[in-house]
Amino acid sequence: MKNLFFVLAILFTFVFGAWGAMRVVKVIQFDRNCEGYLKRAADANTVELAAKNLAVAVKYLKSNKLTSGYTSFLWRTPDEDVGFWYENITSALKELLAVRPDASQLERTNVLMKLRETLLDEGRSVSVTVPAGMSIFPANASYAIVGFFLSFFAGVLWLTALIADDY
């Protein structure tokens, strides 16, 4: 019987590890397809380069239907509002595209500074403004529930296996 508990504990641990690996893959995919382009747009030195990179991020968000909702599932807070975040990004893109080719350098610089303030959060370090959990949105609740149960059952099975091993 104790061998069964060890086998199940190992199995649940591997499944939990696979769940964690899926989360890591999702973070990397989101960074490569969206967040990285937001950072590049914020760092761009020209309006055209910023618009080009921001358009890639907006296209990804549209094509993956990441345009509304909340990343949380227990309670809603403003920093997890995907709709506001998406509208803010798309309005920034519209503003970049509206800059006239004959605009002064001061006007272009002001638009780029405003874009940087929109896309980045500055605290102890600079980071791209993205709702928490955006990489797994809209499946945040599923990931949280599955992760909780996998870790809970793996822990219970390991504890049971170790206690059964003493008897």
Residue type, 141: A
Residue 128 has phi, psi (to 5 degrees) of -75, 135
Q: What are the tens digits of pLDDT across the range 115-156?
A: 999 999 988 888 999 999 999 999 999 999 999 999 998 888
Position 111 scores a pLDDT of 97
What is the pLDDT of the chain when averaged over all its residues? 93
Q: Helix, strand, or coil here: 89? A: helix
- Rounded Cα distance between 67 and 86, Å, is 6
